[in-house]
A and B are shown apart, each in its own frame.
Chain A
């Protein structure tokens, strides 16, 4: 386990409160009579924020200084981005 400064119990609780608030916000937005594209962008944006909170604080990436580890963490997201671009391009140019 990394020997870096770890968040306190209270910090983890605050992150949890944010996560639950964002869950409530995403669920509420889905019930609003707004444009579908706007709703999708907002809800997925909230999901990205929740993911960042879990990864940075609960998975301790915020405190990780190891470059090789970051390479392992970031590399799959290049592939994820490639898949997203391929899916989008096949719909945009078909």
Chain B
């Protein structure tokens, strides 16, 4: 494919290198959060069994949705490689739709907790739950916004030539958000 992505002296396109550096900082951000969660959890004599307090089925459904969205994102990148604009748009729209579905399920899950009187500040378990899943949800929202922006660019005439690489950059972020959930799901809901 051809595009105008500038390349650094390392041989890596600058946008791609920048995204990987950003993701490196995000790894450390979530490591700090998860580390705090594990220390808090291990430091308490008792911890509620997640299966009794949380809806594992809903979280598993959300995991299914997010893993599927990673596939559609990868397919969007592959479509750009094949200079297939229509398929790239289709797969980007599917990714955005699945991301929105994830937030919808998460919103429903939160509404169930609120209905039972569980809010941030009503105990260390719920503080951890809302902090971890809430910050991840914000990252999903940011990914949806980024993908919407990239989708809007796909309608420009110079998209494949000049801006196709942005699908891969946005995709890297989206996959990272998926990877974070791959660890949040078992740590918060299963173990």
Q: Real complex partners, A and B?
A: yes
Q: Which residues of A contact B (CB under 8 A)?
A: 1, 3, 6-9, 12-13, 15-16, 19-20, 23, 26-27, 30, 39-40, 43-44, 46-47, 50-51, 54-55, 57-60, 66, 68-69, 72-73, 75-77, 79-80, 83-84, 87, 90-91
A16 touches B80 (CB 8 A): no
Q: Which residues of B contact A (CB under 8 A)?
A: 1, 3, 5, 10-13, 16-17, 20-21, 24-25, 27-28, 31-32, 35, 38-39, 42, 51, 56, 60, 63-64, 67-68, 70-71, 73-75, 77-78, 80-81, 164-165, 168, 171-172, 175-176, 178-179, 182-183, 185-186, 190-191
Query: Which of A46, A77, A87 makes the CB contact (< 8 A) with B39?
Result: A87
A54 touches B175 (CB 8 A): yes
Q: Report if A16-B10 is in contact (Cβ < 8 Å); known contacts: A1-B165, A30-B190, A30-B191.
A: no
Residue contacts A-B, CB under 8 angstroms, 19 given: A1-B16, A3-B1, A23-B60, A30-B186, A47-B183, A50-B182, A54-B178, A55-B175, A58-B70, A58-B171, A58-B175, A59-B171, A69-B17, A72-B17, A72-B24, A76-B31, A83-B35, A90-B39, A91-B42
* Docked CA distance A69–B16 (Å): 9
Query: Which of A16, A43, A59 makes the CB contact (< 8 A) with B175?
Result: A59
A44 to chain B, nearest CB (A): 7
Query: Which of A30, A60, A66, A75 makes the CB contact (< 8 A) with B56?
Result: A30
Query: Which of A1, A16, A19, A69 makes the CB contact (< 8 A) with B81?
Result: A1
B31 touches A54 (CB 8 A): no
A1 touches B190 (CB 8 A): no
Q: Interface SS of chain B: helix, strand, loop or mixed?
A: helix
A1 touches B24 (CB 8 A): no
* Docked CA distance A79–B26 (Å): 12
Q: Report if A80-B71 is in contact (Cβ < 8 Å); known contacts: A59-B175, A69-B12.
A: no
B81: chain A residues within 8 A (beta carbon): 1, 6
Q: Interface SS of chain A: helix, strand, loop or mixed?
A: helix
B191 touches A39 (CB 8 A): yes
Q: Report if A87-B11 is in contact (Cβ < 8 Å); known contacts: A1-B1, A13-B71.
A: no
* Docked CA distance A69–B15 (Å): 12
7 further contact pairs, Cβ within 8 A, besides A26-B190, A68-B11: A6-B81, A12-B75, A16-B71, A27-B60, A43-B191, A66-B10, A87-B35
